């Protein structure tokens, strides 16, 4: 081989290596989340419960361990366990089983009426034990005996016998058993939680570690990751029970963030949707969760299971597609300048998202409104995508007075959108009464409360809404829509016309004045045939990602989850742990 050929081959090889390095995907930036374990409130606050069933999913669990969760959210076992697969945690009060309660799943309710009653007065042996196994062995000597964990004792495990609905009955039991000074009556405390075999008065265990909640962890069965039934849903992870202020039980699921996202995805987005849309949703859900830790801290939880946070229902609707979307984005987050983003999302935006400061009283640089052409592809798939709301003057006046603090106008005579955002959403609405007095509704909270619209994307009195709703010749040449008038000058330049009176040549060649909302074909008062008419599109707060927009981007345009995230969130990064 000649020297020249060798040099040429070497040069070519170097060029190929450089080219390969250029086209290889760049590694994601690194990010370390504050935790990978979440506390999800299943029944908290006003939804706390007198008792809570917890059952192993068949072949997905083999009993339960008892303990507590430390400050790092790790489960600390106390060596106590049961191989029972159907447990109920309940307040240590007189409780009666009602098989029809909790939608037919059954529940213990406070009281003493019923075929199955669990009393809160127990006979307690005076001796304490260092381990659960020692106490369990002693309990086996007595009918109806069980172990109680009471951490205030140096020997924290106690043996309790039976249950009675009155102290007198428990005192009588001590006498009849011949225990004398070897036993006393234990009635628990405001923190005590009893554990029974569901539907029976068979107490398996009691827990009272002061203000520390009871932790219950399902034991595995074979190689399957444990799943547990709670209120008709199936969850991974452990469970925490607390009687806050001595009242009913708050129930919290302690779960790894990836299992949590798998329990959100099929409830926040259809589990048959395109994989790239599901990945974008997984990324939003994971990031939102970690950026909202301790949102329900007063109840011992980070997040709830409702739309207030994110809809979380566990494994029931999960499938291979949704699990794949989570697994392929595992550990990924949306960040801005190294910090987790607030990755808001909603069903639809009506054709444009909105900058956050026009919706909520905060200014976040990556939550910028964008015009969304992708939703146009899915209009036929979404019920009530376009909507109309009407009010008589009297109805509108009464609604505004009842929902807007300090609203004092008399009967409303006209209503108009007095300011549109850059993306064409109504961010100010002005109403005027019969006496000529006016008031302005601003931001989403006032507009939606006052008018009851699903979004801020609407026009009034038959008017089209927002920039881009008027165009010349074809939709690609859109004219910005606002309370001002615009004209087309030399070279097709669009410019505002500084005049309150403007005239146009009509289709028949005549000349007509153009004024107010009528410039977009609407009524100048906002009324049609004597009623106020509001026409709009979309359903949601319009901040961040449109879920149907993500569907369209993935299904109709073959775009990736990265494309979706970067379209709806301005200037963000996708990072990985």
pLDDT class of 522 with cuts at 50, 70, 90: low
Give the three-class secondary structure for 268.
helix
pLDDT confidence of residue 229: 98
Find the mean pLDDT for residues 363-382. Answer: 97
pLDDT confidence of residue 469: 42
Q: Average per-residue pLDDT in the chain?
A: 88
Token pair 């005027």: residue = 432
According to DSSP, residue 301 is labeled B
Same domain, 519 and 405: yes
pLDDT class of 493 with cuts at 50, 70, 90: low
HSE-up of residue 55 (Cα within 13 Å, Cβ side): 15
- The token pair at 93 is 């009060």
Least confident of 193-207, 254-268, 365-379, 505-519: 505-519
Same domain, 430 and 402: yes
pLDDT confidence of residue 504: 52
Same domain, 531 and 543: no
Which helix (H) or strand (E) segment is 402 a member of? Answer: helix 393-403
Residues above pLDDT 90, as percent of the chain:
80
Same domain, 496 and 401: yes
Residue 115 has pLDDT above 50, yes or no: yes
Q: What span, in angstroms and rounded, lies between the C-alpha atoms of 39 and 48? A: 15
Residue 178 has pLDDT above 70, yes or no: yes
Has residue 559 been placed in a domain? yes
Number of domains within the chain: 3
Has residue 18 been placed in a domain? no
**pLDDT digit string, tens, across residues 312-359:** 999 999 999 999 999 999 999 999 999 999 999 999 999 999 999 999
Same domain, 547 and 518: no
HSE-up of residue 337 (Cα within 13 Å, Cβ side): 5
pLDDT class of 462 with cuts at 50, 70, 90: confident
pLDDT confidence of residue 21: 42
| DSSP collapsed to 3 states, 322-379 | HHHHHHCCCCEEEEECCEECCCCEECCCCCECCCHHHCCCCCCCCCCCCECHHHHHCH
Same domain, 576 and 545: yes
Number of helical H runs and strand E runs in the chain: 10, 39
pLDDT class of 29 with cuts at 50, 70, 90: confident
Q: What span, in angstroms and rounded, lies between the C-alpha atoms of 345 and 361? A: 17
Has residue 15 been placed in a domain? no
Has residue 156 been placed in a domain? yes
pLDDT confidence of residue 400: 97
Same domain, 93 and 227: yes
Same domain, 576 and 427: no
pTM to 2 decimal places: 0.84
pLDDT class of 476 with cuts at 50, 70, 90: very low
Find the mean pLDDT for residues 487-508. Answer: 50
Least confident of 150-164, 229-243, 410-424: 150-164
DSSP readout, 414-432?
EEEEEEE-TTS-EEEEEEE
pLDDT confidence of residue 505: 54
Same domain, 468 and 559: no
Question: Which of residues 255, 289, 318 is at a domain's end?
Answer: 255
Same domain, 441 and 478: yes
**pLDDT digit string, tens, across residues 80-111:** 999 999 999 999 999 999 999 999 999 999 99
pLDDT confidence of residue 515: 38
264 with 40: CB under 8 angstroms?
Answer: no
Indicate the pairing of strand 545-546 with strand 345-346: parallel
Find the mean pLDDT for residues 546-560. Answer: 98
Same domain, 205 and 329: no
Token pair 């964008």: residue = 370
Same domain, 163 and 88: yes
Give the three-class secondary structure for 43.
strand
Q: What span, in angstroms and rounded, lies between the C-alpha atoms of 29 and 577? A: 8
Range of the domain at 449: 386-537
Residues above pLDDT 70, as percent of the chain:
85
pLDDT confidence of residue 245: 83
Q: What span, in angstroms and rounded, lies between the C-alpha atoms of 272 and 276? A: 11
Has residue 251 been placed in a domain? yes
pLDDT confidence of residue 355: 97
């Amino acid at each position: 081989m000649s020297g020249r050929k060798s040099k040429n081959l070497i040069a070519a090889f170097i060029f190929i290596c450089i080219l390969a390095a250029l086209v290889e995907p760049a590694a994601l930036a690194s990010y370390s989340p504050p935790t990978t374990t979440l506390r999800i409130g299943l029944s908290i606050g006003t939804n706390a419960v007198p008792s809570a069933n917890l059952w192993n999913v068949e072949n997905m669990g083999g009993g339960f361990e008892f303990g507590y969760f430390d400050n790092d959210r790790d489960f600390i076992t106390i060596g106590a366990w049961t191989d029972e697969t159907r447990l109920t945690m309940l307040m240590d009060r007189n409780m009666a089983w009602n098989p029809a309660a909790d939608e037919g799943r059954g529940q213990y309710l406070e009281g003493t009426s019923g075929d199955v009653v669990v009393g809160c007065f127990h006979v307690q042996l005076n001796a304490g034990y260092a381990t659960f196994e020692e106490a369990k062995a002693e309990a086996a000597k007595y009918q109806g005996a069980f172990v109680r964990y009471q951490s205030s004792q140096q020997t924290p495990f106690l043996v309790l016998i039976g249950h009675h609905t009155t102290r007198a009955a428990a005192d009588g039991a001590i006498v009849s058993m011949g225990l004398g000074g070897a036993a006393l009556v234990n009635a628990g405390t405001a923190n005590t939680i009893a554990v029974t075999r569901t539907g029976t008065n068979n107490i398996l265990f009691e827990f009272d570690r002061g203000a520390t909640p009871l932790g219950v962890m399902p034991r595995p069965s074979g190689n399957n990751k444990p799943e547990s039934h709670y209120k008709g849903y199936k969850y991974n992870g452990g469970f925490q029970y607390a009687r806050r202020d001595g009242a009913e039980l708050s129930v919290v699921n302690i779960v790894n963030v990836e299992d949590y996202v798998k329990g959100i995805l099929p409830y926040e987005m259809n589990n048959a949707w395109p994989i790239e849309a599901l990945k974008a949703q997984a990324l939003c859900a994971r990031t939102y969760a970690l950026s909202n830790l301790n949102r329900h801290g007063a109840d011992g939880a980070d997040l709830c299971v409702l739309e207030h946070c994110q809809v979380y229902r566990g494994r029931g609707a999960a499938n291979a597609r949704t699990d794949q979307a989570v697994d392929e984005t595992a550990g990924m987050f949306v960040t801005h300048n190294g910090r987790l983003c607030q990755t808001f999302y909603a069903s639809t935006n009506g054709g444009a998202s909105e900058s956050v400061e026009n919706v909520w009283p905060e200014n976040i640089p990556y939550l910028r409104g964008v015009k969304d052409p992708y939703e146009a592809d899915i209009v036929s798939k979404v019920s009530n995508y376009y909507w109309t709301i009407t009010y008589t003057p009297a109805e509108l006046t009464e609604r505004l007075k009842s929902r807007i603090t300090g609203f004092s106008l008399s009967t409303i005579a006209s209503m108009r959108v007095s300011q549109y955002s850059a993306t064409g959403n109504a961010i100010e609405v002005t109403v005027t009464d019969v006496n000529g007095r006016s008031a302005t509704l601003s931001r989403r909270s006032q507009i939606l409360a006052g008018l009851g619209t699903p979004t801020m994307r609407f026009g009034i009195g038959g008017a089209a809404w927002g920039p881009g709703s008027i165009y010349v010749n074809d939709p690609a040449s859109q004219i910005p829509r606002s309370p001002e008038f615009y004209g087309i000058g030399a070279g097709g330049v669009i410019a505002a016309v500084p005049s309150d009176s403007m005239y146009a040549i009509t289709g028949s060649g005549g000349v007509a004045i153009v004024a107010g909302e009528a410039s977009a074909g609407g009524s100048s008062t906002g009324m049609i045939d004597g009623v106020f008419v509001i026409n709009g599109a979309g359903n949601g707060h319009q901040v961040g990602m449109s879920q149907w927009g993500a569907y369209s981007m993935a299904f109709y345009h073959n775009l990736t989850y990265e494309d979706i995230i970067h379209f709806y969130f301005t200037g963000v990064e996708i990072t990985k742990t």
